[in-house]
């Protein structure tokens, strides 16, 4: 791919994709091995930064989002079962809700640790 180094320290590059090699060369680009980082920027191969580990706050936000979505689905199913008088399904969904709450508590403790 045609590229031109934008930052000598980080080895970030500007890339040109396509077949107009004369145009890219007129911009000072040369063919080089490049790779795209997790955030969409381009770098000389071997210099792309890795995605950082999510923060504790980000992990908790993701946990809460998934928990709330799963709980909403279970509650909707419970309401439907209740509407139809399906007590077996209602009991099963109650157990699923309890298991979901227990799993949330366990996952929360893993994230916050010994705070």
Which structure tokens are listed for 79?
A: 């309401």
Closest CA to 40 of 7, 5, 13, 3: 13
H-helix or E-strand containing 30? strand 30-31
115: pLDDT strictly greater than 80: no
- Per residue in 6-20, pLDDT tens? 999 999 999 998 889
Within-domain flag for 50: no
114: pLDDT strictly greater than 80: no
Both 63 and 24 in one domain: the answer is: no
Global model pTM greater than 0.75: no
Both 64 and 103 in one domain: the answer is: yes
Which structure tokens are listed for 50?
A: 């890795």
Give the separation between CA 37 and CA 67, rounded to whole angstroms: 30
Q: What is the mean pLDDT of the chain?
A: 95
Q: What is the DSSP-derived secondary structure letter of residue 33? A: -
pLDDT computed for residue 40 by the predictor: 96
For residue 79, what are the domain limits?
56-112
Within-domain flag for 70: yes
Give the separation between CA 49 and CA 71, rounded to whole angstroms: 36
Q: Evaluate whether 42 touches 3 at the Cβ level (below 8 Å).
A: yes
Which structure tokens are listed for 23?
A: 């145009």
- Per residue in 18-38, pLDDT tens? 889 999 999 999 999 999 999
Domain count across the chain: 2
Both 74 and 33 in one domain: the answer is: no
């Amino acid at each position: 791919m045609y590229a031109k180094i934008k930052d000598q320290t980080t080895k970030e590059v500007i890339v040109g994709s396509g077949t107009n090699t004369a145009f890219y060369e007129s911009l000072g680009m040369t063919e080089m091995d490049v790779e795209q980082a997790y955030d969409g920027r381009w770098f000389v191969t071997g210099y792309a930064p890795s995605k950082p580990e999510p923060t504790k706050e980000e992990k908790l936000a993701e946990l809460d989002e998934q928990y709330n979505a799963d709980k909403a689905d279970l509650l909707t199913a419970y309401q439907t079962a209740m509407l139809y008088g399906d007590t077996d399904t209602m009991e099963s969904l109650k157990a699923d809700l309890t298991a979901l709450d227990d799993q949330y508590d366990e996952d929360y403790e893993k994230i916050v640790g010994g705070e």
